[in-house]
Amino acid sequence: MTVTNFQPATQEEHFSPESHVVPVSLYVVIWATLMVCTALTVFAASVDLGIFNIVVALVIATFKGTLVVLFFMHLRYSTKLTMITVIAALFWLFIMFSLSMTDYLTRAWSTYG
């Protein structure tokens, strides 16, 4: 086998810095949406939805979080690898939460039916 030589890109050739520039208007729209959602979640907490209070709160929080990650953190314009990283984080959190809860949710169950 041979090792051939490779010339890295010289400075005269083009850079491609992160090429996508997000328009200011989009940032402002996202910001406004986040503010509205904050107001919404505060309002929703004042209404008694029983078991659904937590569901509503987490859905709104996740929606806000998704906007922050996609647009402010540029995930929308990033590589697939970055997206896999974010999904991995969520998946591992899910493992930690759900498997821990297999213990706590079932402790009260009796062994014999």
Partner 1 sequence: MATAVQTVERENYLNSNYGIKSWLLTTDHKRIAMLYLVSITAMFWIGGFFAMMIRLELLTPQGDLVSSDTYNKLFSMHGIIMVFFFLIPSVPAVIGNFVIPLMVGAKDLAFPRVNLLSWYIYMLGAITALTAMVTGGVDTGWTFYTPFSTTYSNTHVIGAAIGIFITGFSSILTGLNFIVTIHRMRAPGLTWRRLPLFCWSNYAAALIMVLGTPVIAITLLLVALERAFNIGVFNPQLGGDPLLFQHLFWFYSHPAVYIMILPGMGVISEIVTCFSRKRVFGYEFVALASIAIAVLGFVVWAHHMFVAGISVYSALVFSLLSYFVAIPSAVKVFNWTATMYKGSIRYETPMLYAFGFIGLFTIGGLTGIFLASLGLDVHVHDTYFVVAHFHYVMVGGMVMAYMAGLHFWWPKISGRMYPEAWAKLSALLVFVGFNTTFFPQFIMGYMGAPRRYHAYPPEFQVLNVLSTAGASILAVGYVLPMIYFLWSLRYGELAPPNPWNAVGLEWMTPSPPPTHNFDETPVVTWEAYDYESQPQEEVTVGH
Partner 2 sequence: MATSDLQIAEHNLQHHFADMEQQQETSTFGMWMFLLTEIMFFGGLFTAYLVYRSSYYTAFVEGSQKMNIWLGATNTAVLICSSLTMALGVRAAQTGKPKLMVVLLLITILFGLGFLGIKAVEYHEHWTNHEFPGPNFHFETGDPAHPPTDPQHTEIYFSLYWAMTGLHALHMVIGVGLVSWIIIMGLRRAYSPSYYSPVEIVGLYWHFVDLVWIYLFPLLYLISKKHG
Binding region for partner 1 (CB under 8 A): 1-8, 81, 88, 92, 95-96, 99-100, 102-104, 106-107, 109, 111
End-to-end CA distance of the chain: 68
Per CB under 8 A, contacts with partner 2 among 42-81 are 42, 44-48, 53-54, 57-58, 60-61, 64-65, 68-69, 71-74, 78-79, 81
The site partner of 110 among partner 2, partner 1, none (C-beta below 5 to 8 Å per kind) is none
| CB 98, CB 64: distance < 8 Å | no
The site partner of 2 among partner 1, partner 2, none (C-beta below 5 to 8 Å per kind) is partner 1
| CB 56, CB 36: distance < 8 Å | no
The site partner of 40 among partner 2, partner 1, none (C-beta below 5 to 8 Å per kind) is none
Which of 6, 72, 62 is closest to 37 using CA atoms? 62
Name the helix (H) or strand (E) containing 31. Answer: helix 24-45
Which CB atom, from 6 or from 43, has the smaller least distance to partner 1?
Answer: 6
Question: Token pair for residue 102?
Answer: 């297999």
